[in-house]
């Protein structure tokens, strides 16, 4: 009986510690859903704060291998799917995006592919507000990155 109490106390303690680490002093929750890509550097996949979910710029990395997907269209699709998975882990669908910003390294080559993938994923719409930019370089000399903000009112 004593052992059960000790285990329960230990679990409560460690869970309490985990929860403290996961939330910031003001209550920002750091997201690391199961099945998502792993971050190795000084960044996290996303956060929840109040009713909003903020997803870091996502690229076409396969969560199974943590390496870049081959093929422009497939890689762009994977970037959107990575964003989708993180948003869904907090109860937001793609349709609940309040804004996306799309970064490509060639507007003429990649914007049509972005449009095609969005039609596939959002169906007939409505689509989110989008800002699309051709920039000089992405991490790992990648071709595409998408950053999304979502709305998912916290359960009261």
Q: How far is the CB of 6 from a second copy (least distance, A)?
A: 29
CB of residue 84 to a second copy, shortest distance in Å: 14
Residues 6+ apart with CB under 8 A from 129: 98, 99, 100
Nearer to a second copy, 47 or 89 (CB): 47
Name the strand (E) or helix (H) holding 56: strand 52-58
Query: How far is 77 from 16, CA to CA, in rounded Å?
Result: 38
In angstroms, the CA 20 to CA 14 distance is 10
Nearer to a second copy, 56 or 61 (CB): 56
Quick check: helix, strand or coil at residue 18? Answer: helix
Q: How far is the CB of 83 from a second copy (least distance, A)?
A: 11
Give the β-pairing of 67-68 and 29-31. Answer: unpaired
- Footprint on this chain of a second copy (rule: CB under 8 A): 21-22, 24-28, 30, 41-47, 49-52, 54-57, 91-93, 95-99, 101, 103, 107, 111, 114-115, 118-119, 122, 125-139, 145, 147, 149-153
What's the min distance (Å) between Cβ of 132 and a second copy?
Answer: 6
């Amino acid at each position: 009986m004593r052992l059960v109490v000790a285990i329960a106390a230990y679990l409560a303690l460690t869970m309490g510690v985990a929860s403290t680490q996961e939330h910031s002093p003001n209550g920002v929750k750091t997201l690391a859903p199961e099945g998502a890509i792993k971050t190795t550097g000084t960044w996290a996949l996303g956060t929840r704060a109040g009713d909003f979910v903020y997803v870091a710029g996502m690229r076409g990395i396969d969560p199974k291998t943590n390496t870049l997907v081959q093929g422009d269209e497939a890689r762009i699709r994977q970037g959107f799917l990575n964003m989708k998975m993180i948003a869904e882990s907090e109860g937001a669908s793609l349709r609940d995006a309040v804004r996306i910003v799309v970064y490509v390294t060639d507007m003429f080559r990649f914007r049509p592919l972005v449009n095609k993938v969005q039609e596939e994923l959002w169906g007939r719409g409505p689509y989110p507000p989008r800002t699309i930019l051709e920039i000089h370089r992405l991490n790992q000399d990648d071709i595409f990155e998408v950053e999304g903000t979502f709305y998912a009112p916290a359960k009261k």
